[in-house]
Amino acid sequence: MAKSLAPKHIALRICRTIYELNAQDLHWVPLDEVCRRLDEHHTKALDAALEYAREHELLACSPPPVHSVMLTHKGVLAARGKFKKSHRESG
- Cβ atoms of 64 and 47 within 8 Å: the answer is no
Q: Please report, in tens digits, the pLDDT of each residue of the chain (91 residues total).
A: 457 889 999 999 999 999 998 866 788 999 999 999 999 898 999 999 999 999 999 999 988 888 999 999 999 999 988 765 544 444 4
Tell me whether strands 68-71 and 59-61 are parallel, antiparallel or unpaired: antiparallel
Domains in the chain with CATH codes: 7-89 (1.10.10.10)
Residue 68 pLDDT: 93
